[in-house]
């Protein structure tokens, strides 16, 4: 039986990649953020995952408006990064776990979710940056991945309630997977930020604290806000908290907070890092 | 598509819903094409021809010509795609934030930093 | 308020297009099938739809396995046919109804369905042939469309129960649409047939009769079979009955059979045509 | 992925599930490319090179070379995509049915007609 070893959450701001590339981790601007990863590295060494189920969102690399799925589950043998439009250095490829992907998909459809299945999928900074942060300077990732993309681009977005239920279905899939893998669940993005409009630069530490305070013990509290309310509270891109909520569902019914870091600002974003153990 | 009773407008904020998507498709399709470096170069080489190829609306064409981000959003642009266009113009998200909020870039960066001042870490 | 004027169901076998092209409608092979459309033409002249919501399935024209949605809702201003691989003459384009598409999508997501939204979508014979049969020899289609594609390619497929619930959510969308449009619901494909494997050529009039007998008055009866059971009863491509089931859901709670035709074989398929009035 | 307890195998029938999809991806990708007439011509011009370009497995390559439809399905092919390849070979769905069931095309057509004999129309 697979074991779910815990959940790791982090912001995925593109600028983090630049900071890593330049080696800026200990500069005054970046240190408060990167210092939050010392504990992440220790924890990963303790829990030793070999598969990661990653809830993230595409930023217009793999998906366009011609076909934008609400939930898309990767089922490829490998996943590549590609030019996101800025000609930056490409991130390392990822090994997939197609058998586990299909088991997750079978469970989701049996539970009356309607995913798109993606046997080919480019992954962007939303997946790569959390990995660069978690396993710095490795030549190849120590885990295989099952990437799951949630629509945060085209409204209507799935509700927080739906995202949590979706994650819980993924949990049922992991709990029923006969393999011996050690699975870490990852949620990326957020927290509060807004890139567009006259409210650009908006952040909301109060709402972010509410999310961080409730994610472990009462994730349903986060589902009482509609998407519209989450945008109001968290910014247009703050809706990436849907990835955190779904990942929390995938972790399982109960959880305990191991570590938290929160810092404003990284680029335009309120950056957060969180580790949860299953209980 | 929003119900203004249930969901009162959020100041300074546009939800990219079906109405926006319908309005913005041509602009967003052009910006999505900028994932390809050859397309970015084609835009730089002949901006008007490239916009014409994607059949931008006059409002979209004007907003692009003016580097007017709020105008692009009003014309249905989605920030995830617009960010690729902004990259061609050499603008990062702080530059774009400054443009949209009528601040200088230094002011916008300070506005971001100020929001972290009250925080105790950990 | 939009009015749902009824539902039209028909098989969509590619060979039908060839028969129309050649003018074979009155040959002995084709006459029993085409004769079923005299009543369809009368009915359409009576109910005068100006919008069609069409449940169909893509046959590898618009969607590939790199991204295959369970449910995909078109939201384009127009839809085009294209070469499906055989270099046949192209079918006429369709005008879309983006505002109604988005209203349907908003309702579906609010009802906890997870569609992919498609602002560009090629449509294949599964959509064109039912239109060629319904409105022969028109220069342009008299209705705008909202096309909805259901995955019948990549298992796991949505269950019949899920397809019916999905259709019922589309009904709620249509019932709450403030426009004055007269909407016809269309379901295409089936009935029993199997193109692949040593069981190729399989048809099952008994199961087809069960479907036709229950669709109007007890569509839930069709949802008691799992997808695996439907394949057993109906053939690997007989699962296209999912389009009929979803369309039946979109018609509304009650219905009355107006017309039925059933004929074996058209190509490898048990062909059926059905008209339902709302009650 | 099927649970054989709950879902006993259906004779002569392969469900195109995740296992099949994993196995068949290269073959299906090649067949999907045949929506484009230029790709169909490229296949006709040099079948081996075209199959190599899509990295078909040896079993897939053999089945294609042999026009062995059951072999293609066993190698993960999905009939919706395979039908496009069959078209290049000049085979319609009755021809494909005959090939798969070990009948002549005339026999297969009669097999189809026979299934309608008992029906009263209407
Ligand atoms: Fe992001
Ligand atoms: Fe079909």
Tokens found for residue C170: 């589309």
Distance CA B9, CA A48 (A): 46
- The backbone torsions φ and ψ at residue A41, rounded to the nearest 5 degrees and listed phi first, read -65, -45
User: How far away, in angstroms, is A10 Cα from ligand 1 center?
Assistant: 11
* Chains with at least 3 CB pairs less than 8 angstroms from chain C: A, B, D
Q: What is the DSSP secondary structure assignment for residue C224, as one 8-state letter?
A: G
| Reported ipTM exceeds the 0.90 cut | yes
Chain A: residue whose CA lies nearest to D2 = A106
Residue C148 CA to its chain's centroid (Å): 9
Distance of CA C73 to the CA centre of its chain: 13
Residue D22 to residue A102, Cβ atoms within 8 A: yes
Backbone φ and ψ for C94, nearest 5 degrees, come out as -125, 140
Q: Which residues of C touch D (CB under 8 A)?
A: 15, 32, 59-61, 64-65, 82-87, 153-156, 194-203, 205, 226, 228, 231-232, 236-237, 260-265, 267-268, 270
Question: How far does residue C190's CA lie from ligand 2's centre (Å)?
Answer: 7
Report pLDDT digits (tens) over C19-40: 999 999 999 999 999 999 999 9
Average pLDDT score over chain D: 94
User: Which residues does D contribute to its contact with A (CB < 8 Å)?
Assistant: 1, 17-19, 21-22, 25
Size of interface B-C (CB pairs under 8 A): 24
Tell me whether residues B80 and A154 touch, CB distance under 8 A.
no
Q: Given this model, what pLDDT does residue C1 score?
A: 77
Output the pLDDT for position D27: 98
Q: A173: which residues sit within 8 A by CB, 6+ positions away?
A: A103, A104, A106, A107, A108
Report in angstroms the alpha-carbon separations of C57 from A29, C61, C179, D80, D92.
53, 10, 27, 11, 20
User: Is the CB of A196 less than 8 angstroms away from the CB of B79?
Assistant: yes
Q: Which residue did the predictor score with more confidence, D4 or C54?
A: C54
Q: CA gyration radius for chain D?
A: 17
How close does chain C come to B118, measured CA to CA in Å? 38
CATH 3.30.460.10 matches A3-197+236-254:
no
| Mean pLDDT (whole number) for A96-105 | 98
In three-state secondary structure terms, B75 is coil
Position B122 scores a pLDDT of 43
Chains touching A (at least 3 CB pairs under 8 A) are B, C, D
D49 pLDDT tier (thresholds 50, 70, 90):
very high
Determine the pLDDT at residue D119.
Answer: 81
From the list C59, C262, C265, the residue facing D112 with the nearest CB is: C265
Q: Which are the catalytic amino acids of C?
A: 125, 193
Task: Compare CB distances from A119 to D1, D19, D21 and report the shortest one's residue.
Answer: D21
Q: How far is D67 from chain C (nearest CA, A)?
A: 14
Alpha-carbon torsion (B18, B19, B25, B31), positive or negative: negative
Contact C195 D37 (CB under 8 A): no
Looking at beta carbons, which residues of chain C come within 8 Å of A117? 65, 67-68, 154
3-state secondary structure C242-268: HHHHHHHHHHCCCEEEEEEEEEEEECC
Question: D1: which chain A residues are within 8 Å (Cβ-Cβ)?
Answer: 102-103, 106
Task: pLDDT tens for chain C, 279 residues: list them.
Answer: 799 999 999 999 999 999 999 999 999 999 999 999 999 999 999 999 999 999 999 999 999 999 999 999 999 999 999 999 999 999 999 999 999 999 999 999 999 999 999 999 999 999 999 999 999 999 999 999 999 999 999 999 999 999 999 999 999 999 999 999 999 999 999 999 999 999 999 999 999 999 999 999 999 999 999 999 999 999 999 999 999 999 999 999 999 999 999 999 999 999 999 999 998
Q: At A240, phi and psi to the nearest 5? A: -60, -15
What's chain C's average pLDDT? 97
Q: Which of the ligands is closest to the CA of residue A239?
A: 1
Helix residue ranges per DSSP H, chain C: 14-22, 31-34, 38-47, 98-110, 125-134, 160-175, 205-215, 227-234, 241-251
Q: Which residue of C has its CA nearest to A163?
A: C112
First to last CA, chain D: 41
CATH superfamily of B18-91: Dioxygenase LigAB, LigA subunit (1.10.700.10)
Q: A106 and D18 in contact by Cβ < 8 A? A: yes
Percentage with pLDDT > 90 across chain D: 89
How close C204 gets to chain A, by Cα (Å)? 26
Using a CB–CB cutoff of 8 Å, tell me whether A162 touches chain C.
yes
Contact B11 A87 (CB under 8 A): no
Q: Mean pLDDT, to the nearest integer, of D50-61?
A: 98
Q: Are residues A199 and B11, on separate chains, in Cβ contact within 8 Å?
A: yes
- The pLDDT score that the predictor gives to residue B121 is 54
Kindly give, in sequence order, each residue whose CB lies less than 8 Å from that of residue C253, ignoring residues fewer than 6 positions away: none
In this prediction the pTM is 0.97
Distance from the alpha carbon of residue D16 to the mean position of ligand 2, in angstroms: 15
Residue C122: phi, psi to the nearest 5? -75, 145
| Other beta carbons less than 10 A from residue C172's beta carbon | 17
The phi, psi pair for D55, rounded to 5°, reads 55, 45
- Among the bound ligands, name the one nearest to the CA of residue A236: 1
Residue A75 C-alpha, separation from nearest chain C C-alpha, in angstroms = 9
CA C147/CA C130 separation, integer angstroms: 13
Beta bridge partners of A271: A263
Active site members of A: 125, 193
Element (H or E) spanning B58, and its range?
helix B58-65
Helix (H, G, I), strand (E, B) or coil at D24: helix
Contact A270 B73 (CB under 8 A): no
CA–CA distance, C15 with B71 (Å, rounded to integer) = 50
Q: Give the closest-approach CA distance of D53 to chain A in angstroms.
A: 17
- The region, left, alpha or beta by phi > 0 then psi within -120 to 50, assigned to residue A235 is left
Contact assignment for A67 to C69 by CB distance below 8 Å: yes
Tokens 């210092």, residue located:
A35
Percent above pLDDT 70 for chain A: 100
Rounded Cα gap, residues A41 and A36, in angstroms: 10
Q: Residue C94 pairs with which residues in a beta bridge?
A: C79
Of C159, D78, D18, whose CA–CA distance to A102 is shortest? D18
For C75-130, the pLDDT digits (tens) are 999 999 999 999 999 999 999 999 999 999 999 999 999 999 999 999 999 999 99
| Confidence class for position B106, pLDDT limits 50, 70, 90 | very high
Q: Would you kindly state where each structural domain of chain C is located, as residue ranges? A: 3-197+236-254
Burial class (CB in 10 A: 0-12, 13-18, 19+), D92: middle
pLDDT digits (tens, 9 = 90+) for B4-27: 778 899 999 999 999 999 999 999
pLDDT tens figures, A243-271:
999 999 999 999 999 999 999 999 999 99
**For residue range B40-82, what is the model confidence (pLDDT) as tens digits?**
999 999 999 999 999 999 999 999 999 999 999 999 999 999 9
Residues of chain B neighbouring A194 (CB-CB closer than 8 A): 13
Task: Quickly state the pLDDT bin for D6 (edges 50, 70, 90).
Answer: confident
What is the per-residue DSSP string for chain A? --EEEEEEEE---HHHHHHHHHT-TTSTTTHHHHGGGHHHHHHHHHH--SEEEEEE---SSS--TTSEESEEEE--SEEB----SS-PPPPPPEEB-HHHHHHHHHHHHHTT--PEEESS-B--HHHHHHHHHHSTT-SS-SSEEEEEEE--SSSSPPPHHHHHHHHHHHHHHHHT--S--EEEEEEE--SSB--SSTTTT---HHHHHHHHHHHTT-GGGGGGS-HHHHHHHH-TTGGGHHHHHHHHHHH-S-EEEEEEEEEEEETTEEEEEEEEEE-
Distance CA B112, CA A192 (A): 12
CA torsion angle for C277, C157, C213, C146 (degrees, to 10)? 10
Measured CA to CA, the distance from residue D3 to residue D18 in angstroms comes to 13
Q: How confident is the model at residue D1 (pLDDT cuts 50, 70, 90)?
A: low
Phi (first) and psi of residue A115, to 5 degrees:
-70, 160
């Amino acid at each position: 039986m697979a074991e779910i070893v815990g959940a790791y959450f982090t912001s995925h701001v593109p600028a983090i990649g630049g900071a890593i590339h330049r080696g800026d981790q200990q500069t005054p601007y970046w240190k408060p953020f990167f210092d939050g990863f010392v504990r992440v590295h220790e924890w990963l060494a303790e829990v030793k995952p070999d598969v990661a189920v990653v809830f993230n969102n595409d930023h217009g690399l793999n998906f366009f408006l011609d076909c934008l799925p609400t939930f898309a589950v990767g089922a490829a043998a490998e996943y590549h990064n590609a030019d996101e439009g800025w000609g930056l250095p490409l991130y390392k490829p990822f090994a997939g776990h197609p058998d586990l992907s299909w088991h997750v998909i079978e469970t989701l459809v049996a539970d009356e979710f309607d995913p798109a299945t993606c046997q080919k999928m480019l992954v962007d900074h939303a997946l790569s940056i959390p990995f660069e942060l978690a396993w710095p300077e490795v030549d190849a990732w120590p885990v295989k991945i099952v990437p799951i993309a949630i629509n945060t681009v085209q409204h209507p977005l799935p509700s927080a309630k739906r995202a949590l239920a979706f994650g819980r279905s993924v949990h049922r899939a992991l709990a029923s997977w006969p393999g011996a893998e050690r699975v870490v669940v990852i949620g990326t993005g957020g927290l509060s930020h807004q890139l567009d409009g006259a409210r650009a630069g908006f952040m909301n530490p109060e709402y972010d604290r509410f999310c961080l305070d409730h994610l472990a013990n009462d994730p349903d509290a986060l589902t009482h806000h509609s998407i519209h309310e989450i945008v109001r509270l968290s910014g247009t891109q703050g809706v990436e908290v849907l990835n955190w909520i779904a990942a929390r569902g995938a972790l399982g019914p109960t959880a305990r907070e191991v570590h938290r870091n929160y810092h404003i600002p990284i680029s335009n974003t309120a950056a957060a890092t969180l580790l949860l153990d299953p209980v | 598509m929003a119900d203004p009773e249930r969901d009162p407008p959020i100041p300074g904020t546009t939800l990219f819903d079906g109405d926006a998507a319908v309005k913005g498709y041509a602009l967003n399709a052009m910006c999505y094409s900028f994932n390809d470096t050859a397309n970015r170069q084609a835009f730089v080489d002949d901006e008007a021809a490239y916009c014409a190829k994607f059949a931008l609306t006059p409002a979209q064409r004007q907003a692009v010509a003016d580097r007017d981000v709020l105008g692009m959003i009003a014309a249905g642009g989605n920030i995830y795609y617009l960010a690729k266009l902004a990259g061609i113009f050499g603008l990062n998200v702080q530059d774009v934030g400054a443009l949209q909020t009528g601040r200088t870039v230094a002011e916008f960066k300070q506005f971001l930093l100020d929001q972290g001042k009250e925080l105790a870490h950990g």
